[in-house]
Structure 1
Amino acid sequence: MSILDKILGNDEPRDTPAKPDHDMQKVLDELAALGPKPIETLSPEEARRQPTPTDAVKSLLRKDGKNPDDDLGVATRDFTIPGPAGAIQARLYGPDLDKPNDRLSPVVVYFHGGGFVFADLDVYDGGPRGTSKMADCIFVSCHYRQAPENKFPAAHEDAVAAYKWVTENAQSFGGDPQKIAVMGESAGGNLAINVSMAARDQGLPVPVHQVLVYPVAGVDMDNESYRENANAKPLNKPMMEWFVKHIFNDQSEAQDPRVNLVGAANLAGLPSTTVILAEIDPLRTEGEQLAEKLEQAGVDVRHKTFNGSTHEFYGMATVVPDAMAAQTFAAHELKRAFGTAILPI
């Protein structure tokens, strides 16, 4: 199937139990060969040392004789952003960061996944790097305080602070303050939409677009995709229960509108939105519900679920064609929102 078919939604319908496609399965097999222990059996400190899907992708590239650290022609620069409880680690991505350029570039403020407990800018490098290249824009990938050392809403506070800093300082790194979007994967997808809601409610400049990749969006762990993917890899129901145990001071906090987006949040007045989901993912159903609720709130939404792919696939474009298709889709929607897409004559 071509990348265009993937983007247009011409996948086969789900009429049999979902199985990873060939390239996705190769990554899962390679991850299994690295010997990760079940996250739900570990402490947060132990979990942070486990092999990741990114490690599996790099291992496959090495076996194919390819450079696992290929920068794709995208320069990076690490720096820090002032946060409410200390410095926030951040990384700039851009094809022209190292070149003199009088043109201000659109900016995407990006937040990584990891269940609010683990992962960092390195683990989630593939998504911002690849999308920056294809969308021809600057990405600012932002870390945030993690649980259980810093429980909810510490990560959300850091995300809003990072976004506010970017809106005020974009020109210092060649960014266009009038063309700033937000994006995130998994827990980072939740942070991204929360930034949009905070901007709306606090009188900050509202992002021109948001890309939500399999976002954390609800609290129902007995919905369709949770039942289908209770034991899926690399994300499953026991892992999500483990995350919840570490994130909150009290379980009632999960009902907060910043977490229970599909059940409690006001989504009116948010920017145009791209929702990217994976079929083999417990978060799929709540992502679909979020897309529907955004549409009901009057938001312009484009949504695509990639069949045969699992949670975490988005950053795997160097080895998984679905990931390349997803990044192409996201890049196109970002350029459309920024007004930088080249339209056919």
Structure 2
Amino acid sequence: MTQPLWQSLLDEEARQVARQLADLLPGPLHNLGLQGVRDFAAPLPPPRSTTMAAVRDHRVGVPAVLVREYCPCPSEQPASPTVLYVHGGGFTVGSLDGVDELCRLIAAGAECTVFSVEYRLAPEHPYPAALDDVRTAHAWLTANAAALGVDPHRIAVAGDSAGGGLAAALCLDLRDRGLPQPVLQLLAYPAVDDSFERPSWTEFADAPLLGTEDARWFWRQYVGEAGVAPDVLAAPMRAASLRGLAPAHVITAEVDPLRDDGEAYADRLAEEGVPVTRQRYRGVFHGFFTEVDTFTAAGTAVTDACGRLRDVFESGLAANQRTSMPSA
């Protein structure tokens, strides 16, 4: 049997996981159907758990959105920089538990508080329900910053896959409503386009875990069977302009149908004057960023992301100190 061309690109860890996935999935993921996909994607208990000073659940807005707070430091510390994290899962699966350890690692590594959003899932709640929930969580966070011990001038947004697309859409929405931008948008292989036409969609059509037809299926759950984005906030690459958006750190996986879309989005941001750092991680496939106990590259990517977050948080703190200094 001929091996797919991408097989030689995977590192040993990824090849082993790909073999395990092939044994579990005799065909494309979406062939399992909605409930089957959700059962398959349900998170297992994490093998480790990074200790936090506190973990709290909040229910905010109407309808209520569950937001989980991760505090790495005692509450008597000064106002904390913050990340609003949006999980992935094709807008259809995924949960707070699936990114629990990742959020703990970001909180510890970037020395910040993390708020993770449990948004409503498609197809029961199609676009724009998920984005509405992310908006609600962000508005609550900014409005209640003082009570939460959060520095309102040092809030970043982050997400992986569908969550990366939602984080990017939030930045566009804030800009278009004349509201302040986050200090950083951290986007891991974000779902930002619905054209499915860049080379990686063909090159990695049968990649492990998520192939091209799987991605199309997830997209239809989100926007409807016609598969057409109702507006630019569903597919941020469609925006006429990306000027004025938050600085970005874009993470992609080498073997991933979404790879070229994420990198094209990073290119557009840079071309339109947005500061961008980007990193393609070799030898891994879609979904690696959240699997910190499986892929060495995930640990590297999280460490790199935390370094980028610390940089912008320190810059934001310095700027706040300058603006608060009394004039001579």
TM-score, normalised by the number of residues in structure 1 = 0.84
**Which residue pairs with 2:223 in the alignment?**
248
Residues 70-103 of structure 1, C-alpha deviation per residue, up to 9 Å, x if partnerless?
Answer: 222235524234234x11111111212xx34231
1:206-225 paired onto structure 2 within 5 Å: 206-225=181-200
Further displaced range: 321-330 or 284-293 = 321-330
Residues 107-162 of structure 1, C-alpha deviation per residue, up to 9 Å, x if partnerless?
Answer: 00010000111111111223222222111111100011111111111111111111
Q: Secondary structure at the match of 1:45?
A: helix
Q: Does residue 1:82 correspond to 2:60, yes or no?
A: yes
Q: Does residue 1:22 correspond to 2:18, yes or no?
A: no
Match of 1:296 among 271, 278, 292: 271
**Which residue pairs with 1:73 in the alignment?**
51
Indicate conservation of the 8 Å contact 2:55/2:70, yes or no. Answer: yes
Aligned-partner residue type, residue 27 of structure 1: V
C-alpha distance in 2 between matches for 1:216 and 1:239: 13
Aligned-partner residue type, residue 222 of structure 1: E
Q: Does residue 1:91 correspond to 2:81, yes or no?
A: no
Q: Percent identity?
A: 35
1:142-221 paired onto structure 2 within 5 Å: 142-221=117-196
Q: 1:290 to 1:113 in 2, by over 3 A?
A: same
1:281-292 paired onto structure 2 within 5 Å: 281-292=256-267
**Which residue pairs with 1:42 in the alignment?**
32
Aligned-partner residue type, residue 47 of structure 1: V
C-alpha distance in 2 between matches for 1:215 and 1:43: 23
**Which residue pairs with 2:322 in the alignment?**
none
Aligned-partner residue type, residue 88 of structure 1: V
**Which residue pairs with 2:325 in the alignment?**
none
C-alpha distance in 2 between matches for 1:105 and 1:29: 42
State the shift of 1:298 in Å.
0.4
Aligned-partner residue type, residue 92 of structure 1: E
**Which residue pairs with 2:297 in the alignment?**
322
C-alpha distance in 2 between matches for 1:231 and 1:106: 40
Aligned-partner residue type, residue 151 of structure 1: P
Q: 1:36 to 1:209 in 2, by over 3 A?
A: farther
Give the number of aligned pairs: 314
Structure 1 runs of 4+ aligned residues shifted over 6 Å read none
C-alpha distance in 1 between matches for 2:47 and 2:152: 31
Q: 1:319 to 1:48 in 2, by over 3 A?
A: closer
Structure 1's unaligned 5+ residue stretches are 1-14, 59-67
Q: Secondary structure at the match of 2:109?
A: helix
**Which residue pairs with 2:76 in the alignment?**
101
TM-score, normalised by the number of residues in structure 2 = 0.88
Please give the root-mean-square deviation of Cα atoms over the aligned residues, in Å.
2.5
Q: Secondary structure at the match of 2:9?
A: coil
Indicate conservation of the 8 Å contact 2:192/2:265, yes or no. Answer: yes
Indicate conservation of the 8 Å contact 2:68/2:115, yes or no. Answer: yes
State the shift of 1:247 in Å.
1.3
Q: 1:110 to 1:16 in 2, by over 3 A?
A: closer
State the shift of 1:36 in Å.
8.1
Structure 2's unaligned 5+ residue stretches are 317-328
State the shift of 1:43 in Å.
2.9
Q: Secondary structure at the match of 2:269?
A: helix
State the shift of 1:286 in Å.
0.4
